[in-house]
């Protein structure tokens, strides 16, 4: 749309311009990229990581890109209105960064066929609607190993957001990692039904500590659980970014999401006209999934964590390597096989050993 509009303006206002000159001007136009965030950019978790990538992309591409963002936009009707606003504002590409935006992106993308839409952690696509994700379960498998080796009570507290496949597969990968080094491990789960609510996350953290958990895990976006761990003298893991500054004595490590290369590649594809729809999946091997420094743990545990990370990167370790059994004791991944990516991305069961009812 922008190319057509630019051409019409060139013809209407300066007929003497050659076609070659107009083409050069269009090529110099910056790509307008917008980001839709479910939380505040200051959450130091999920949204913070996306926004840091936006800023890094600006630094890399300079005048070739203009970016904007909307933060703390609720999933559902608010997301539809925000996406429409961004599409009407002349953005060439819009990145929607929460699983719960998926249906809204599909709805708005259909009405704006000349705008490219990208949705994080979903699975739908269309001609102008791509999706992207990462193997975050790889990091959670490492967290499980660390927790299994470092716990003294054998009780881990897990603060979960929503019962979507990404969160379920994360819980399962964590449990499999923990069980691989400590068969007596117990994981207590509290569902807070929010991505970002620091008071509620802190309340859940304190409740889990009161139940005997000496290590906390989170699949939410704020630093509240780690700060609660620091205050109560237990340890835990950051999520989506290195949260160590908020709990220097408590953070064992954190899964760090590096979205920067992906955003640079996709905006460049808009600029050079090579953007295509589809599904993209990053991993620990590709660098999208990283780990914060291993700290506040024994040298033996740190060595295991480093070896596990190296094994995952080399393709020698897979968190869902068979045999894997569900809670009912049924084999869901056979020995000698690994879970198919489709199974992981649509996971709707707990693995054996999780003593908690599967959430409806």
Per-residue pLDDT tens digits for 120-161: 999 999 999 999 999 999 999 999 999 999 999 999 999 999
Task: Tell me: pLDDT of 117 over 60.
Answer: yes
- Joined together, the tokens standing for residue 338 give 């690994």
Residue the block writes with tokens 């290195």: 242
As a whole number of angstroms, the distance between CA 329 and CA 317 comes to: 23
- Joined together, the tokens standing for residue 198 give 């620091």
Task: Tell me: pLDDT of 331 over 60.
Answer: yes
pTM > 0.85: yes
pLDDT tens digit sequence for 45-63: 999 999 999 999 999 999 9
Report the chain's mean pLDDT, rounded to a whole number: 92
SS (H, E, C) 86-106: HHHCCCCEEEECCHHHHHHHH
- Joined together, the tokens standing for residue 343 give 């199974």
Q: What is the CA radius of gyration of the chain?
A: 22
Count CB-CB contacts under 10 A for residue 342: 9
Q: Which of 163, 106, 170, 107 is nearest to 134 (CA)?
A: 170
pLDDT confidence bin for 99, thresholds 50/70/90? very high
Q: Which of 242, 247, 208, 240 is nearest to 224 (CA)?
A: 247
Count CB-CB contacts under 10 A for residue 15: 7
User: So what's the pLDDT on residue 356?
Assistant: 87
- Joined together, the tokens standing for residue 267 give 């905006």
pLDDT confidence bin for 360, thresholds 50/70/90? confident
pLDDT tens digit sequence for 205-223: 999 999 999 999 999 999 9
Mention every residue, 6+ apart, whose C-beta is less than 8 A from residue 20: none
Above pLDDT 90, what percent of the chain? 91
As a whole number of angstroms, the distance between CA 296 and CA 27 comes to: 51
User: So what's the pLDDT on residue 27?
Assistant: 56
Task: Tell me: pLDDT of 110 over 90.
Answer: yes
User: So what's the pLDDT on residue 274?
Assistant: 97
- Joined together, the tokens standing for residue 82 give 């925000």
- Residue 287 and residue 262 in contact, taking contact as beta carbons nearer than 8 Å: no
Average pLDDT of span 18-42: 72
Burial class (CB in 10 A: 0-12, 13-18, 19+), 210: exposed
CA dihedral 40, 46, 49, 51 (to 10 degrees): -30
């Amino acid at each position: 749309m922008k190319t057509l509009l630019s051409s019409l303006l060139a013809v209407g206002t300066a007929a003497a311009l050659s076609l070659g000159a107009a083409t050069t001007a269009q090529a110099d136009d910056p790509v307008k990229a917008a980001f839709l965030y479910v939380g505040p950019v200051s959450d130091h978790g999920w949204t913070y990581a996306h926004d840091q990538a936006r800023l890094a992309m600006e630094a890399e591409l300079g005048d070739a890109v203009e970016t904007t963002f909307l933060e703390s936009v609720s999933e559902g009707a608010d997301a539809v209105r925000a996406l429409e606003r961004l599409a009407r504002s002349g953005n060439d590409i819009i990145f929607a960064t929460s699983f719960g935006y998926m249906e809204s992106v599909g709805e708005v993308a259909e009405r704006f066929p000349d705008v490219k839409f990208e949705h994080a952690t979903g699975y739908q696509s269309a001609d102008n609607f791509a999706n992207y994700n990462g193997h975050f379960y790889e990091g959670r498998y490492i967290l499980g190993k660390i927790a299994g080796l470092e716990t003294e009570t054998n009780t881990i507290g897990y603060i979960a957001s929503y019962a979507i496949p990404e969160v379920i597969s994360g819980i399962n990968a964590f449990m499999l990692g923990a069980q691989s080094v400590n068969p007596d491990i117990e994981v207590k789960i509290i569902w807070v039904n929010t991505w970002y609510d620091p008071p509620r996350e802190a309340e859940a953290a304190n409740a889990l500590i009161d139940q005997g958990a000496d290590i906390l895990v989170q699949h939410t976006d704020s630093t509240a659980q780690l700060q609660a761990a620091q205050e109560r003298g237990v340890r835990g893991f950051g999520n989506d970014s290195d949260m160590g500054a908020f709990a220097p004595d408590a953070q064992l490590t954190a899964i760090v999401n590096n979205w920067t290369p992906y955003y640079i590649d996709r905006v460049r594809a808009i600029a050079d006209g090579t953007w295509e729809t589809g599904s993209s999946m990053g991993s620990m091997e590709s660098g999208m999934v990283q780990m914060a420094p291993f700290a506040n743990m024994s040298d033996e545990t740190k060595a295991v964590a480093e070896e596990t990370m190296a094994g995952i990167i080399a393709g020698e370790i897979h968190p869902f390597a068979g045999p894997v059994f569900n809670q009912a004791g049924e084999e869901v991944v056979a020995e000698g096989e690994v879970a198919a990516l489709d199974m992981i991305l649509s996971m709707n069961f707990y693995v054996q050993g999780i003593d908690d009812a599967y959430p409806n």
